């Protein structure tokens, strides 16, 4: 008869405690999911920053290498032009600036070094004489 007096919609104290426990578990799981999502976003952003910094470093390194090569090539081009002008008899322009005093002997010596650097051998006996003296 006691059962008949309890309506079906009434919640017992045990049910209330169990419901509160389940709600706490759901809240903790939701908080954990939010924390994991935040950590994931933070890690993704940090990884992106690291990749960008690495790319900047690689670009700087490449630019530095290109600058060195350009400087080296600029010297080689200047020496090649000097050699070509000497062989063509065009020694009238002032390219003696690389030797103190700017003498014709300095130009010949300059040409000698240019050929040694460019060709690896001496092609002008006069320049060889200047070096030996």
Q: What angle do CA 10, 13, 19 make, to 5 degrees?
A: 90
**What pTM was estimated for this model as a whole?**
0.41
Largest CA distance in the chain: 133
DSSP 44-62: HHHHHHHHHHHHHHHHHHH
From first to last of the 133 residues of the chain, give the pLDDT tens digit. 445 545 555 567 778 899 999 999 999 999 999 999 999 999 999 999 999 999 999 999 998 888 887 777 766 666 677 667 766 766 554 444 444 455 555 555 555 556 665 555 545 555 455 545 4
Predicted local distance difference test score (pLDDT) of residue 66: 85
Q: Residue 96 in contact with residue 107, Cβ under 8 Å?
A: yes
């Amino acid at each position: 008869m006691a059962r008949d007096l309890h309506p079906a919609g009434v919640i017992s104290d045990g049910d209330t405690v169990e419901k509160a426990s389940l709600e706490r578990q759901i809240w903790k799981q939701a908080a954990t999911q939010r924390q994991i999502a935040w950590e994931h976003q933070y890690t993704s952003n940090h990884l992106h920053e690291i990749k960008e910094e690495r790319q900047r470093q690689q670009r700087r390194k490449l630019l530095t290498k290109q600058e060195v090569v350009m400087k080296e090539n600029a010297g080689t081009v200047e020496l090649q032009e000097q050699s070509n002008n000497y062989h063509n008899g065009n020694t009238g322009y002032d390219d003696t600036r690389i030797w103190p005093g700017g003498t014709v002997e300095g130009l010949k010596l300059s040409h000698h070094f240019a050929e040694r650097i460019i060709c690896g051998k001496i092609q002008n006996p006069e320049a060889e004489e200047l070096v030996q003296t």
